[in-house]
Amino acid sequence: MNTAAYIYYRALVFKKRALRYRALFETIYRNKCRRLVEIGTYNGVHAYQMIRTAMNHHSSGEIEYFGFDLFEDLADEQLTNELSKKPPSQATVRARLETTGARIQLFPGDTTETLPQSVGDIGTVDFVFIDGGHSVATIESDWGNVEKMMGEQTNVIFDDYYLNSDPEVDGMGCQSVVAGLDKSQFDVEVLPTENAFKKEWGTLRIKMVRVTRR
């Protein structure tokens, strides 16, 4: 791993609460990913780091990033129902990502609407990170569209694979979606790194899951 990759890798590995995110950068680096999709761009920090990791194998102008989020249009009801965080404005995120020199496309709006409208134009991609709305219905919808972007070499990573059932995450997370994947078509790997977060009701334990076509 060269200097640029090492910097971004260490920046996350040594922050305990972000430990599981190293899977994003390891996957992009190892597979020389160039066309990146992120569902749940939020503040663009992970996007920036993913793009910089991809620059280890590609020039900035060759890298394409497609980011989906509600941005400033996230309503309070959605914030609660999707267990989300309030993102900054689309303009703020775009300004951060454009400093990389990569080709940036941001899609504001609900992914149950924006993803179906965009899949055909985006085409096959190398890497997808699913970390948008946390309700099962939203994750099912996102996966149904992401599946259409997958080629033989595409890596998809789901965040929010909850290892315990607690009041805050009941009806949330990708567990049921992952359990329903056809194992004759997909290789499914629950990644080993776990993050644990103390809550009023106990400890929330989270992993990520990587999915590729067989």
pLDDT, tens only, 149-175: 999 999 999 999 999 867 667 788 999
Note the pLDDT of residue 74.
59
Contacts of 183 (CB under 8 A, 6+ apart): none
Beta-strand (E) ranges in the chain?
Answer: 35-39, 64-69, 103-108, 125-130, 150-162, 186-190, 195-199, 202-213
Give the Cα separation of 9 and 50 in Å (integer): 10
Question: Is residue 7 over pLDDT 80?
Answer: no
Distance from the first to the final alpha carbon of the chain: 27
pLDDT category at 85 given cuts 50, 70, 90 is: low
Query: Rounded to two decimals, what is the model's pTM?
Result: 0.88
Note the pLDDT of residue 142.
97
Mean pLDDT of the 62-72 span: 93
Q: Encode pLDDT of 39-55 as tens digits.
A: 999 999 999 999 999 99
Question: Which domains does the chain carry?
Answer: 3-213 (3.40.50.150)
Mean model confidence pLDDT for the chain: 88
What the block records as the tokens of 182 is 């056809």
Mean pLDDT of the 124-130 span: 98
CA distances from 187 to 26, 65, 146, 169 (A): 18, 24, 15, 26
CA 206 to chain centre: 14
Give the Cα separation of 39 and 127 in Å (integer): 11
Mean pLDDT of the 50-78 span: 86
